[in-house]
Amino acid sequence: MFILELGSTKQINSVIIDFFRKKHVKDIVWKEELESLEVQKELLAKTVNSKLVLECHIDISYQRRFLKCLMHYLDTINATIDETLYKAFGRLYSGKEEKYYHVFYPIFEIDKLDSLTEVNTIILKESINIISNGTTGLITWQASQALADWAIKTSLENKTILELGSGVGLAGLAVSSLTPCNKYIFTDCHSDVLSLLKYNVKHNCDEILVDEKNPEEDMIFSGSVKDCKVEVRKLDWEWLREGICNEIGPVDLIFAADVIYDEFLHLPLINTIRMFLENGTKAAIIAFVERNEETVRVFREKLATMDLKIKDLEIVEPNYLSWKTPPIIHIIEVTIH
């Protein structure tokens, strides 16, 4: 986990967090304390000019919009604009856009923001495009934030969790750093997703044990995040090998987020879940956005016809992480009869 320093002027902390969470600039509530040149300097030093932002490539067009909107607000309240804002603006305009950039996920109890001086954040490298190289796995989807939020509040002491279709790894990194679980196994199938996933796990890790160069190996990374062992493995639901459960070892829970969007993948996904449930895994926890009612209905129906039991868990609201609602995010628990 990385640390984000908040401001000594508490009123601007929500603006700092909005910047890191890339809140739409039109929805940011700018504070009148920003009339002061000192407060403007502080906001800049904690956001666009902070060490973490200068070290990581973060979405440059968002940073430009943030500064533009801030300057527009200062104009509307007739405030003098500090020269550091103009300098940063010039620097950002001469920078070039990248195909991948770093995204910050500050994690803290939303109600407690006023009492904090710093917050923990996960930093992930992600693609600038929603779909690229034929996969949806190169960005973080909302359901994984909801799954992480649900998991942080759940008792996961000593549990081993296997995640299917981990994408860039947000859910697992939040769970491994903020819950007392014992082991978290990230998996995916696409080679670009696996290398980005490995990069992200490695960069948020405290100890590295295996760092495999060959992405075709099943286990390409292992290490630890705090006291939790972490692994990154290749696991393709369409090419399930006999004996895979033994290779992976005992798993208490399966996690999966935003993996039911494609009806062609339902059967391979359910077969994978079923195989682990038959080998002693207690339940699969699946989070998904309801984008298409029919796809969700078909998925539930297939689970039932394969003799699996579904329980809808309580709908979570953003609490530690932040995602947009609506759409509604469902979390279901799947067990074997």
**Which residues are at the interface with ligand SAM (CB under 6 A)?**
135-137, 140-141, 143-144, 165-167, 188-190, 193, 236-238, 257-259, 265, 268
Select the residue whose beta carbon is closest to ligand SAM and give its number.
137
Q: How many CB atoms lie within 10 A of CB 321?
A: 25
Residue closer to ligand SAM, measured from CB, 238 or 317: 238
Burial class (CB in 10 A: 0-12, 13-18, 19+), 296: middle
Q: Provide, rounded to whole angstroms, the least separation between the CB of residue 147 and ligand SAM.
A: 7
Beta bridge partners of residue 163, listed in sequence order? 186, 255
Residue closer to ligand SAM, measured from CB, 149 or 258: 258
Residue closer to ligand SAM, measured from CB, 48 or 230: 230
Residue closer to ligand SAM, measured from CB, 106 or 137: 137
3-state secondary structure of 188: strand
Residue closer to ligand SAM, measured from CB, 44 or 138: 138
Q: Provide, rounded to whole angstroms, the least separation between the CB of residue 36 and ligand SAM.
A: 40
DSSP run (H or E) holding 184 = strand 183-188
Direct distance between the N- and C-terminal alpha carbons of the chain, in angstroms, rounded to an integer = 39
Task: Please tell me the distance from the alpha carbon of residue 102 to that of residue 55, in angstroms, as a whole number.
Answer: 10
Q: Provide, rounded to whole angstroms, the least separation between the CB of residue 104 and ligand SAM.
A: 15
Residue closer to ligand SAM, measured from CB, 161 or 257: 257
Q: Provide, rounded to whole angstroms, the least separation between the CB of residue 1 and ligand SAM.
A: 19
Q: Provide, rounded to whole angstroms, the least separation between the CB of residue 274 and ligand SAM.
A: 15
Residue closer to ligand SAM, measured from CB, 95 or 215: 215
Strand arrangement, sheet containing 118-127? 2-5, 118-127, 100-107
Angle between helices 60-76 and 83-94 (to 10 degrees): 150
Q: How many CB atoms lie within 10 A of CB 66?
A: 23
Q: Provide, rounded to whole angstroms, the least separation between the CB of residue 25 and ligand SAM.
A: 24
Task: Using alpha carbons, select from 271, 247, 285, 279 the residue that is nearest to residue 161.
Answer: 285
Q: Provide, rounded to whole angstroms, the least separation between the CB of residue 309 and ligand SAM.
A: 23
Beta-strand pair 253-257/160-164? parallel
